[in-house]
Chains A and B, each alone.
Chain A
Amino acid sequence: MRPDSPTARRRRGTRLRGLSVWLIALLVALVATVQIRSQAEVERSLVGIDSTSLAFLIDDLHRANDALDAESSDLTRRRDTLESGGAGAADQVLADEAGRLRAVEGLVPVHGPGIVMVIDANGLNALDLQDALNNLWAGGGEAIDVNNRRIVTGVSVGQMSNGVSVDGVLVVPPWTITVIGDANRLGLVADLMSKQLRADRRVRQASYRVEADVVIRSVVSQKPFVYAVGF
């Protein structure tokens, strides 16, 4: 049979059509597989995160981003003051910053709106106090004191044989936790905490009050760095 004979041409055409059908079928199968796999992939990536957790995460991220926006605005204002002013402006910016950081680090007495929480219990340990303090930080606390001991990260909350210590000093129950911050948010957190604590058999009393102005007089002393250097 000659390669350009009508029979050979017909066979070639048939083969080509068959090949086209197979190619189309392959493409359809490929697209369908990709679609189904991508759906399955999304489902797999969500394993372990329920929608409620995601909603809380979104809420937290909104709040975090608002806080970052506020910080950006404050820093922009400081930068503009430094750019426009002379030495006087720089001194004012630096003095304001020093005052704010002393309060952040617990080096000076402070006051402001907040809550006072009282927990009377027998058998609560250092981890219980650490968790309570973390809940209050996460709930908008900006300055915290427990039984006249100032709390900041790095102040040790430890376990002694006869109870819980703050910075090496025993804090005997009842614990009075004073917190300055957004009183509304702190009130909600304290309410939840009180309910949970009252359900604990070890807890005799758990209560809180919201106040327009609470005072924290306790301070920590700054420890100089021995090992760390800036770079």
Chain B
Amino acid sequence: MSRERSASLALVAVVALATGFVLAGQVKTQLLTPSNQVARYSALIRSVQELESTNAGSRRHIADLRSQIDALESEAAQRSAATQALRNNVADLRAHAGLTAMRGPGVQVRLANGVPGPDTGGQTRYLVDFQDVQDVVNLLYAQGAEGVAVNGRRITPLTAYSGSSGQVVIDQGTPFSSPITIAAVGDRNRMETALNDPSVLPDVRAREVLFQLRLTFTGSPDVALPAYDSSLQIPHVSAT
């Protein structure tokens, strides 16, 4: 009896094993093409992630170096009035270039993706794109912003925006996607008035209606912006 039971259990196990192999083979055959594609995509994604990690490390290193330089300059300035005057001048220029943190009254604008809908002008108009961010930043500067940061990344005199498929890349940073927060320090009243004006940012306003894209903002007596942490190299430019 016991031998019979053992034999039947072994038979069940062998049948289950064979079924498992057959099933696995079938599933593998069906998934072969997609899994190859997934492997290729995964390799690309891994490359992006590695590059993003390097990017973040480099930006931390740059911020650290700038801090060290600031301390050394401060030390040198204590020894000479001329050096102190030069340092004050450079500090002002750095502040205007976005190289130092700033705070003051301002606004925080939030841009968030909408939902797909009947779309006539492209497949991804419900997504926030880099041109939306660029338009909001330009509007804020035109209305009295003295400094702007997008998702904590400071805008500089040479800032460029790029990206695709709902991804926003600013200067040498890693991509952002919705929701995107744009913080600005400056003339809070003017900026709030402009953001309340339904005639500004016409493309965003139209997509708010069509795709429920969301633009919201809040004013604040104290908005803080971080310092720029990337490159401001202009190797091809010389003063005349």
Contact = CB atoms under 8 A, between A and B. Distances in A.
Interface of A: 10, 14, 17, 21, 25, 28, 36, 39, 42-43, 45-46, 48-51, 53-58, 60-65, 67-72, 74-76, 78-79, 82-83, 86-87, 89-91, 93-95, 97-106, 108-114, 127, 130-131, 134, 137-138, 141-143, 152-154, 156-158, 180-183, 215, 217, 222-223, 225-231
A228 B186 contact: yes
Contacts of A71: 62, 230-233
Contacts of A21: 9, 12-13
Contacts of B27: 36
B164 A87 contact: no
- Across the A-B interface, give the 10 residue pairs with the lowest CB-CB distance, nearest first: A90-B76, A64-B172, A137-B160, A71-B231, A152-B157, A68-B58, A61-B51, A138-B160, A75-B65, A82-B72
Contacts of B193: none
Contacts of A226: 146, 186-187
B56 to A, nearest CB: 10
B237 interface: yes
Given A101-B90, A104-B97, A104-B156, A114 B134 contact: no
Contacts of B164: 53, 56
B54 A65 contact: yes
11 contacts: A57-B48, A57-B169, A68-B172, A91-B80, A91-B86, A100-B234, A142-B158, A154-B157, A215-B240, A222-B96, A230-B100
Contacts, number: 271
A61 B46 CA distance: 13
Given A57-B169, A75-B66, A138-B162, 6 more contacts: A60-B169, A79-B68, A95-B86, A102-B93, A141-B158, A181-B237
B62 A75 contact: yes
A101 B240 CA distance: 14
B94 to A, nearest CB: 7
